[in-house]
Amino acid sequence: MSPGTFFRSSNPEYVYVSLIYENSNFYASWNPSKPVKIGDYGHLQSDHSFAVEGNIFDTALPGTFNIAPYEPTSTEEFKCIVSRHVDEIKHSGTGEMGASWLHKAKVEQTFTVTRSFGAILVMTNVRYATLEPSGALKDLIYSTAFNKHQVLVSELYTCSSYARLLAPKQTRAVQVTLEASAHQRLLRGTEDAKWTHTADGGDFMNGLSKDRGHAFAPLFRLVGREKTFRRLPIRELSPPKWRRVVDEGGWEQM
């Protein structure tokens, strides 16, 4: 999907979602504080935001299709996703806690935006979850439990703190900075920390969890049926050899 095709629009959400998807194959939420869980299913609305209709783990579907969530016990301290034509030219930090910039009381990312628009997503204290086995997802998506317009959250990144920026082409480098009074607060996210940026124009949003919880869902993968979601930020799965029939509770009908 190219920003120059379907998402040729003055709507900044369209542009941001398109740019991040083009370079990552993940759906980037315009509003990361909106709750999303692994196994959620739903549809894209007219503005192409994701509307949750339910979760497969509230039904018998995981048992029927042998699907389970997998969530590594470890978390990433920091993760950055950018669109094409955005270059990360510097990362730095200040403070006295350790040699790594990730353990400082100030984290600063520096980027250049060289084309019409650039999208940047920065997350701290990042947790990843996925549905396994991935091969079973196509059986579920093409079963009678789903219609052709529904999509499934198959992978999910949640975090304690994030900043997202959609910025036009810049004549100078852009800094996205998170500052806090202590290194633990900086990475885990508290009300004492603060995100800032130096972009000239654009749309900026950020969030900080007060209790270190993974309160935000900035990035996830949506999967759906083949030849249904062309030019949309959804990964299309090829059909299985046969379609499985299940009832409303998720139990397979023989």
Q: Which amino acid is at 128?
A: Y
Cα–Cα distance measured from residue 100 to residue 122, given in angstroms and rounded to the nearest whole number = 17
pLDDT score for 57: 96
Instruction: Name the residue with higher pLDDT: 94 or 23.
Output: 23
**Contacts by 50-55 with C-beta closer than 8 Å and gap 24+?**
50/151, 50/222, 53/150
Q: Is the peptide bond before 133 cis (omega within 30 degrees of 0)?
A: yes
Task: Please answer whether residues 124 and 184 qualify as being in contact, where contact means their C-beta atoms are separated by less than 8 angstroms.
Answer: no
Q: pLDDT grade, residue 191 (50/70/90)?
A: low
Confidence of residue 213 (pLDDT cuts 50, 70, 90): confident
Residue 153 φ/ψ, nearest 5 degrees: -80, 105
Q: For residue 212, give the DSSP letter.
A: S
Contact 165, 202 (CB under 8 A): yes
Q: Is residue 101 over pLDDT 80? A: no
What is the chain's alpha carbon radius of gyration, rounded to the nearest angstrom? 20
Question: Phi and psi for 138 in degrees, rounded to 5?
Answer: -65, -35
**pTM for the whole thing?**
0.86
With 90 as the cut, is the pLDDT of residue 37 above it?
yes
